Amino acid sequence: MAERQTGPNLHRSVWGPIVTVVLLGVAAGVVSPRIAAAQGDISTLAEDARQRLLLQLKAGNEAFDRGAYDEALLRYDTAAGIAELASIHYRRGLCLEKLERYPEAIASYKRFLELDPSAPESGRVRTDIVRFEAIVARQSVGRLSVNTVPADAEVRLDAADAAVLGKTPLFEITTEPGSHTLYISKAGFESRTERVEITPGQAVSVQYQLQVKVAAEGIVSFSSQPPGATVRLGGADGPVLGKTPLTTKVDAGPATFHVSTPGYKPRAESYQIAAGQRLAVDYSLEKEVSDVGLGPNGWKGGPKPGRRDQGVSGAGIGLTVTGAVLGIGAAGMWFLAESTIKDANDYDRQAPGHTRDALTDMEANVPLYKVGTWVAAGLGGASLLTGIILLVTSSDDDAPAASGWSLELGPAGARVGYELEF
């Protein structure tokens, strides 16, 4: 009975029955066959070792009853150093569970099942192991909640092109512990990039205010007289925006617009385009006038270079028509000369009663008609050939023409010329 009195206080601990059996066995130097088979023969322990084991177990039970789990764990660890009993690992697991040291509690409970797999507590212990492993798994990762104002923003993690985790509000997303980058975007609002620190087993909640996106471009409307003018950005050699009337987007900042159309003087104007601005500009183009300058010997004028464009094409048509008319004129002159010669030869038959003076006058006109025939034929042929060349070569609108007209004014009158190189 003295040995029973040295055991744990049975009414103070739920573990009283188990502790009493073990302590009685240890104090008497006898171990139950089941525990002895699990942990090996402890009969070789010296008497003082058994007494120390008994005292450590008793002190551990008392500390556990007081809620001093750290102290109780220390006592059980000391007892386990004297003799490894299944019941000691079971008590260690209980202390570690109370201290929420779940990985260690799992290890202690698993050792208990290895030493005594058929113990009455084994069913509950196995259930607790599964529950603790789930807790450990949750504690090894972090949880992240993200909210924005306004809501419905897309959230990506660690890369701007990563898969979308979801749209705000986003609750309790499981993620690896450590430093992460959040990419938050919503149409019409400025995107945000934020750093967050995720702690294992902790829940982190963040909220961000999104800013409305300000347009980085303006809208410009162009019109011109005449319409159909080409609008370029940056100058005469800049990219073509289109033809008037035209409405287009232009990046905010300084901008120069160049407007041109054949036959009119080009215009270039600069503007400061503000973000979100709507600007309307109208161009009234001035017709080009041929330059007349002072030439040599007091003559005014000179060649004016042209372009193989609509003007060159028109000149080609005009010269072709002129050549054809001069050719018809040459044919007429030739007919008059031949007709006059025939009339002179057949004077008496064709013109009876005419005087000799009339015959002389007809003969005098023959050389004039022949000269006119050759002059008209030469000019007509040259004009026709030039016109055809201009029509053929004017298909390339951007190639410079080696032709031009000249107007010269002087004391003796006016002189008009046309110059062509090919």
First-to-last C-alpha distance (Å) of the chain: 138
- Residue 45 confidence (pLDDT): 74
pLDDT at residue number 237: 87
The pair of structure tokens assigned to 419 is: 């110059």
Beta bridge partners of 258: 232, 268
CA-nearest of 208, 115, 105 to 155 is 208
Structural contact between residues 240 and 180, judged by C-beta atoms closer than 8 angstroms: no
Q: What is the 3-state secondary structure (H, E, C) of 129-198?
A: HHHHHHHHHHHCCEEEEEEEECCCCEEEECCCCCCCCEECCEEEEEECCEEEEEEEECCCECCEEEEEEE
Parallel, antiparallel or unpaired: strands 178-185 and 166-167: unpaired
pLDDT at res. 228: 92
pLDDT at 376: 74
356 burial type by CB count under 10 A (0-12 exposed, 13-18 middle, 19+ buried): exposed
Enumerate residue ranges in the chain where pLDDT < 50.
1-41, 292-296, 298-309, 396-402, 421-422
DSSP class of 40: -
| pLDDT reported for residue 356 | 56
Helix (H) or strand (E) holding 282: strand 278-284
Which helix (H) or strand (E) segment is 415 a member of? strand 413-420
Asked if 130 and 105 touch (Cβ cutoff 8 Å), the reply is: no
Strand, helix or coil at 403?
A: strand
- 249-269, pLDDT tens digit by residue? 888 889 899 999 998 999 898
Helix or strand (DSSP H, E) at 399: none
The pLDDT assigned to 395 comes to: 54
Give CA–CA dist 268/413, Å, rounded. 40
> Can you give the pLDDT at residue 302?
46
In this prediction the pTM is 0.35
CB burial string 234-269: b at 16+ within 10 A, e below: eeeeeeebeebebeeebebeebebbbbbeebebeee
